[in-house]
A and B are shown apart, each in its own frame.
Chain A
C-alpha cells in the first residue's frame, strides 16, 4: 500500500511538472501571439509588398493598371533589377516601394513599417532615414559642388560636420572621384554625375537604394564603371540595390531579375542559381 502511494505520488509529481511545462509553453506562445511576431518568419526581407495595385485614372472609362497585384519580397543585400518594356510599370513600382506614390490598394512594408499608413510628413522623414534614390537624370543640385550635393542629405539628417566630412571622403574614395570634390555638376561628365548621385543616395546609410534607370543616359564605359561601383558598395557595405532598367548590361550584372509586363510580375529569377 505504502509502495503504491509512493508510486502514485511520483506519478502525480511527474504529471504536475509536465503540466507546468505545458503551461509555460502555452504562455510563451500566447506572448508571441500578443506581440504579433511572425514566429515562423526566419527570412531577412526588408521590403515586402502584398497585393500591390496602382490604377491611374481609376474613375475614367480607360483606367490604367500600372501595377497589378504585385506581391514581392526583397531581402537585405540584394542586387535586383526590375525589368520589362517601357510602360510596364517599373518606375511606378519603384515609386511605390520608395513611398513617392501611394498605391490604390495593397501594402508596402519596409523593415516592419507599413509605409502606406504613414502621414505625408512621416513618409518624407522615413525616406530621409531609410531610402536612397538614384534618378535617371542624376538630379544633382547645380549650384552645389559634388561634395555639397552628397553632404546635403546628411545635413538634412542632422549629422555633425565631422562625421559628414568623413563619410563624404569615404564615399568619394569609393566612387573614385576624390579629386572632383569641389566641382559643380556642370563640370562633371554624365557618368561622374551619376556616381555622385549614387554617393548621395548612400550618404545617409539607407536600408536600400532605389535606382530608376540609372544607366539610361550613360555610355557603355560609364555604365560599366557605375555598375562596378554599385556592386562593390553592395558587397562592402551590404547595401541593397533595386534598379528599374531595360538595359541588358545592367540585367547581366543583377543577381535577381523581376520581370514585369502590364504591371504584373511575370517572372522572378535568382540569376545566381542559374549561374
Chain B
C-alpha cells in the first residue's frame, strides 16, 4: 500500500521528478565515467607493466636486489622453472640475465639495463614482441642482435642495423665491451621503460660477461589472471621455503616490484570514489530540496492522513520511500547509461593523442579504454540508496512535525 502510494507520489509532479532523475543520471554518468576512465588508465598501466615489463611475480637472489651485481644469481634455474610450471595458475615462466650497462652509439651514450633473454620463452611470457615497430624480435641473421626502445633509439640516433657498443662489468668485476647491431625497435608508449631497457640474446650476454650457463639473475612468472597473484605467491613461498629460509631466493609480486604502481592504483580508486561521493552529496541537497517542496505542497494531504489515523511511522516511511524511489529511478538510469557509455568507449578506446607525449613520459598509454568492475556498479548503487535515505530524513521529519488540526485547513 505504502509502496504504491509512494511510487504514485513520485510522479505527481512529473517535471520536477524528471529534473531530479536527470540530475542524478548525469551526476552518476559523469562520476562513473570518470571512475572508469581513471581505473581504465591505471589498469592498462598495470596490465601493460605486467605483460610487457615485470610479469606478475619475480624470483631473485636477495643479494642481487641490494647490489644489482650479476654474481648474485639463481643457480639451477631449470629445476625451479619446472617446479613453477607445475602450478595451474602459471601461464608462462621465463628466466633472464639482467645487468646494468652503458649503451653507446656513434652519436651518444646512456645507461640502461641489459636484459639477456631467450626470445622464444620471452614471447610466451611478455608481449614485447608485439610492440616491435621496426625490424624484428630477434628473427634476424645479424650477429649479436639487440632490441631497443624507440625513445632509446631516438636518443642514440640509431636505426635498424646500426651498431651500438655495450659497456658492462663481467663476472670478475672488470669492464668489458661488446658490439651489437640493432635488430628491432619497440614502442611501448612508456618512455621510462624504453629508455631503461635493452634486450639481447641470453647466450650473447653470457659470452660477453663470462656468466655461468646454468645461472640467471631473474625468473619472471606470468599468471593466467592478475587476481591469482597473491595465491600463487603463497604457493611459491611454500614451494621454495628452504631456499627462502637460507636467503638464496626471494619472491616478489608486481606490487612489491613496482610499489608506485600499486599506490597509484589504490590512490586513483580512492580519489575517484571521493569525487563520486562528493557528486552524491551534492545531489542529495537537490533531492532534499525537491522533497521539501513536495511536502510543502502536500501539507493538507499529509495532515489529513495523520488525522484519519495514519501513524507517524507510516508517514515517515512513505516520505522515505518516495525519496528512495526518486533516487533509485535516477540511480538505475544513471548506472545503466554509465554502463552503456563505458562499454562502448571500452570497445572503441579513447585516443588522447594531443597529450600523448606527456602521458607516455610518465609511463601511461595515450590510448585509454575505460573499464569498471561490477563491484563498483553495486557499490555506487548502494551509495545512491544510502544517499536517498539520508536525504529523506529531513523532509520526513518536516512532515512529522505537522499538526494535523492546522494542516488540514491550510490553504495551499
Contacts and interface: CB of A to CB of B under 8 A. Distances in A.
A and B are interacting partners? yes
Interface of A: 91, 95, 98, 100-101, 120-121, 124-125, 127-129, 132-133, 135-137, 139, 141-144, 152-153, 155-157, 200-201, 204, 212
B300 A155 contact: no
B12 A153 contact: no
A62 B306 CA distance: 30
Given A136-B409, A139-B304, A141-B5, A125 B12 contact: no
A124 B310 contact: yes
Nearest to A200: B308
B365 interface: no
B312 A121 contact: yes
Contact of B309 (A95, A124, A135): A124
Contacts of A141: 5, 301, 304-305
A21 B403 CA distance: 57
B409 A91 contact: yes
A228 B184 CA distance: 102
A153 B309 contact: yes
B404 interface: yes
A152 B312 CA distance: 16
Contact of B308 (A121, A133, A136): A133
B217 interface: no
A98 B1 CA distance: 25
Contact of A100 (B1, B310, B314, B404): B404
Contacts of A124: 306, 309-312
A139 B310 contact: no
20 contacts: A95-B405, A100-B408, A101-B403, A101-B405, A120-B312, A125-B311, A129-B309, A132-B308, A133-B304, A133-B307, A133-B308, A139-B300, A141-B5, A141-B301, A144-B8, A153-B308, A156-B310, A156-B314, A204-B309, A212-B409
A32 to B, nearest CB: 35
A8 to B, nearest CB: 70
A139 B405 contact: no
B43 interface: no
A134 B304 CA distance: 10
B253 interface: no
B9 interface: yes
A143 B304 contact: no
A139 B408 contact: yes
Contacts of B409: 91, 135-137, 212
A155 B146 CA distance: 83
A91 B406 CA distance: 10
A120 B9 CA distance: 26
Contacts of A125: 309, 311
